Amino acid sequence: MSKNNIFSILERGGIVWYYSFQNQQVGPVEEDVISKLVEEQKINGSTLVWTQGMSTWRPASTTALVKFLPQAAIAPVAAPAYAYSYKTPEMEIKELNDLFLWFWICLAGSLVTFGLSAIASMVLFYIILYRHWQLIQDGYARTSPGKAVGFLFIPFFNLYWIFEAFPGLVRDTNAYIQRHALPIKMQDAGLATAFCILTLLCLVPYLNFVTSVALLVIQIILAKNFRDSAIALILNRK
């Protein structure tokens, strides 16, 4: 279901639900089709479900969906705790927006605290990078999210790896979009490459005073591009 369809349902007072089936998050689905899912035995009293306004996932028999369940299915059965970790697209998007907001705050704070907040902003930048790599793991990505970020902390090797983690992400994302025929605009890896080059130039004495400002500007733009691209992938996830 597309984002526009979800908004259309909500605007006319409808409700959409997410549910757990075979250890996978499914949804959103309109409340009108819940009865059919119950008949198909995809939803029962112990099935974990979530809709807007709920603070956590709960068994269907303890929610408004109880009206669709047969009497025998109303008593809830203990559900696996890990299922509560499911996130809806709305939750994922909110987390990305919050990360970007705090990235901005820490980056601005580093100017006041003489760089003390710069470490926090870099950590948040790497978390955004990690989240983006997570979204394109379909078996064809050049690396895993953990390696993409973790290898950036290996001395000397990271001088090479930075080009895999950043421009590589843009290229792999474009390839992912093509493989899955997603209606998402592909990005140019040039900005990510410029970020890598400026990062290396900042290691050169005296030259770093010239390149640091340009690096800061490009980092902000790149972080925004990664966030926007990740949100587009979430909204068009199949």
Cis before 70? omega within 30: no
Q: What percent of the chain has pLDDT over 70?
A: 86
CATH number of this structure's domain 3-80: 3.30.1490
CA separation for the pair 97, 78 (Å, rounded): 34
175: tokens are 């390839």
Q: Give the Cα separation of 131 and 93 in Å (integer).
A: 11
Q: Which part of the chain has CATH 3.30.1490?
A: 3-80
Question: What's the pLDDT at 159?
Answer: 95
Hey, what amino acid is at 114?
A: F
**Number of residues that this document lists for the chain:** 238
Which pLDDT score, from 0 to 100, does residue 26 have? Answer: 82
The span from the CA of 36 to the CA of 72, in Å, is: 17
Q: What is the pLDDT of residues 43-70, one digit of tens each?
A: 888 888 888 777 788 888 888 888 888 8
Confidence category of residue 14, pLDDT binned at 50, 70, 90: low
Tokens linked to 74? 């109303």
Give the CA distances from residue 89 to residues 11, 78, 93, 95, 105, in Å, rounded to whole numbers and listed in that order: 18, 26, 6, 10, 24
Q: Which residue has the higher pLDDT, 226 or 3?
A: 226
Whether the pLDDT of residue 12 is over 80: the answer is no
- DSSP H or E segment with residue 22: none
Task: Please tell me the predicted confidence (pLDDT) of residue 116.
Answer: 74
Is the model's pLDDT at 98 over the cut of 50? yes
Sequence-separated (6 or more) residues with CB below 8 Å from residue 186: 173, 174, 177, 178
